[in-house]
């Protein structure tokens, strides 16, 4: 049986010499695809700038969603709407297996843009400071390319335009409402200011952290500071709780593990001669494994409640902060990661495909990876000449728009190569 399978594979390679391990090993293919994408650059830039000027926060992406739907209709691409309030799922291809998904997020940040340029955000306090306007535009560009080549697709591509990545876990809502359909794998990309435009970063395994926010309140009994024995001081209890929390990483976490516990605010009374009745504080927990985050959450609750009890106080801990559910860790599938490396090398050259660093930021793309194999990779935007040098979530974040056709071509090539590879498996 093994000999027969090898003979069939050899025959396929003989008949279709441009296909190797699912990657179309043809320089002409890469050149034609990039050329087609670059011909759309003016359109892509126009779309991206329109989205950038009108940023919308999580689950409020109504105008962005309307713009995407209008362009899909103009291109003659069928879609379903709504998912997760404003999300869209377009579909291109035969409708038959294999089915692969591509995902882009649409929401902006509650951030004041400080970059002065012609297409600056028109809405005070809102900004596309994480590149989601570029992600959406690149996926729309891929939709156009894939639709132009739909007769050649050996399966089906689902394009997920998703709301509420920034804290709202929009991916989990998309999944519950059926956005994945019969997808068996998913690709996502995120802009990366550490890599130059024209390059990508990849990494197998854990790449982004599982993330949780928390709030806590330690309640005592307030009163005049001159009579401490008549009070139950929540400040002392809170102080010792905060010190004890810092030991969770240094004393209880494997030194080879990656975890973060940060207290980011403490609020209490304002009078100089009054002991307050309570103290509020909060922060964030992060781990490169979802299991590690769950353990850290459990110990955080135990430590705060225990320290409060020792000092005759009562503690209330909220690990499900409203509007900010916990995110799992982003763990890239090994085989799909290899495909990103191969396709990236094919399109951009080996020198422009690099191993990217693990980062303790979170991404709700992880919810898709809990359902099906998936990979998220970085696409470079760094360009000192245009000022594209600032990190995401910075008010000075700026995008090198040369990335737009590159991202559209990468999305297209990944989808086509996945379908080619898995159609061969079905046929064999």
Backbone angles phi, psi at 83, to 5 degrees: -125, 135
C-alpha 139/C-alpha 162 separation (Å) is: 11
Instruction: For 234-299, give the DSSP string.
Output: HHHHHHHHHHHHHHHHHHHS-TTS-EEEEEEEEE----TTEE-SEEEEEEEEEESSHHHHHHHHHH
Q: Which residues contact 152 (CB under 8 A, 6 or more apart)?
A: 416
* 6 marked as part of a ligand binding site: no
**Would you state the structure tokens that stand for residue 81, as one six-digit string?**
């709407």
Whole-angstrom CA distances from 131 to 36, 62, 138, 359 are: 23, 18, 11, 17
Q: Which uninterrupted H or E stretch holds 267?
A: strand 259-267
Query: Is residue 229 part of an annotated ligand binding site?
Result: no
Annotated ligand binding at 313? The verdict is no
How long, in residues, is the chain? 428
CB 266 within 8 A of CB 249: no
Identify whether the C-beta of residue 388 lies closer than 8 Å to the C-beta of residue 193: yes
HEC assignment per residue over 45-61: HHHHHHHHHCCCCCCCC
Is 132 annotated to bind a ligand? Reply is yes
Q: How many CB atoms lie within 10 A of CB 167?
A: 20
Does residue 294 have a known ligand-binding role? Answer: no
Binding-site positions for Mn(2+): 130, 132, 166, 190, 393
Annotated binding site: 130, 132, 166, 190, 393
């Amino acid at each position: 049986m093994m000999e027969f399978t090898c003979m069939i594979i050899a025959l396929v390679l003989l008949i279709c010499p441009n296909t190797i391990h699912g990657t179309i090993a043809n320089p002409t293919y890469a050149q034609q695809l990039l050329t087609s994408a670059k011909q759309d650059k003016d359109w892509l830039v126009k779309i991206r700038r329109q989205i950038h000027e009108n940023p919308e926060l999580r689950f409020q992406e109504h105008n962005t969603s309307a713009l995407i739907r209008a362009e899909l209709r103009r291109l003659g691409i069928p879609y379903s709407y709504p998912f997760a309030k404003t999300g869209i799922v377009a579909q291109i291809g035969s409708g038959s297996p294999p089915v692969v998904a591509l995902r882009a997020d649409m929401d902006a940040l509650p951030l004041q843009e400080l970059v002065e340029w012609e297409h600056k955000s028109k809405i005070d306090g809102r900004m596309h400071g994480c590149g989601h306007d570029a992600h959406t535009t690149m996926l729309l560009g891929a939709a156009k390319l894939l639709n132009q080549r739909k007769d050649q697709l050996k399966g089906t591509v689902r394009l997920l335009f998703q709301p509420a990545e920034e804290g709202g876990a929009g991916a989990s809502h998309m999944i519950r409402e059926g956005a994945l359909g019969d997808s068996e794998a998913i690709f996502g990309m995120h802009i990366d200011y550490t890599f130059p435009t024209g390059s990508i970063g990849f990494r197998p395994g854990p790449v982004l952290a599982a993330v949780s926010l928390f709030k806590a309140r330690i309640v005592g009994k307030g009163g005049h500071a001159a009579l401490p024995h008549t009070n139950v001081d929540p400040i002392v209890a809170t102080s010792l709780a905060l010190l004890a929390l810092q030991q969770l990483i240094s004393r209880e976490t494997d030194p080879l593990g990656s975890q973060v516990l940060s207290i980011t605010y403490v609020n209490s009374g304002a009078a100089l001669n009054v002991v307050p009745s309570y103290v509020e504080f909060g922060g964030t927990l992060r781990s490169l494994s979802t299991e590690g985050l769950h353990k850290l959450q459990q110990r955080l609750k135990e430590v705060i409640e225990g320290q409060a009890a020792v000092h005759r106080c009562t503690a209330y801990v909220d690990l499900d902060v409203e509007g900010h559910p916990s995110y799992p860790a982003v763990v890239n599938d090994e085989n799909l990661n290899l495909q990103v490396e191969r396709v990236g090398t094919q399109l951009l050259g080996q020198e422009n495909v690099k191993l990217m660093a693990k980062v303790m930021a979170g991404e709700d793309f992880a919810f898709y990876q809990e359902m099906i194999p998936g990979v998220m990779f970085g696409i470079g935007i760094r360009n000192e000449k245009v000022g594209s040098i600032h990190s995401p979530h910075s008010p000075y974040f700026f995008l090198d728009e040369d990335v737009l056709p590159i991202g559209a071509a990468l999305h297209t090539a990944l989808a086509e190569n996945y379908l080619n590879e898995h159609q061969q498996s079905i046929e064999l």
